[in-house]
Amino acid sequence: MPSAFEIPPGELTVRASRASGAGGQHVNKTSSRVEVVWSISESRALAPADRAWLLRKLASRLTADGSLRVVASDTRSQLRNREIAMERMAQVVRAGLARPKKRKPTKPSRSALRARVESKKKRSSIKKQRRLTSDE
């Protein structure tokens, strides 16, 4: 997946509604809460492998039809909340597309192998000495 991945603006649905909570008359009169929805399952911007990966990684955040929903009601400004919601959407998708690095198995060093064998021999000799003294 290229790092310059962009969600086509035509695939995003932006809705404004009245925010809840404190704010007095302003909150009752203005639609400053912004909700951005992107249908991952229907997106043409994603390769099939990336779509499957995102659907699996973001399964807990998706709606039943495979859409990702992000809401922002942080400020009194609808425009600012829209920007915040778009940035949150980008962060969620970026984090979802990130694939973990493959672990490269390493060999223990020769000295580590030698030290392991030595400790086993030492432990063995301690136990052997116990057997010899307990027979008396």
pLDDT tens for the chain, 136 residues long, are 445 678 888 889 899 888 877 767 777 788 889 999 999 988 888 889 989 999 999 999 998 998 999 999 888 888 999 999 999 999 999 899 888 899 999 999 999 999 999 999 999 999 999 887 655 5
pLDDT reported for residue 135: 55
Q: 122 by DSSP, 3-state: which?
A: helix
pLDDT reported for residue 112: 96
pLDDT reported for residue 3: 56
Six-digit token string for 111:
């000295």
12 membership: H or E segment, kind and range: strand 12-17
pLDDT reported for residue 29: 80
d(CA 88, CA 92): 6
| β-pair partners for 69 | 37
pLDDT reported for residue 1: 44
pTM above 0.85?
A: no
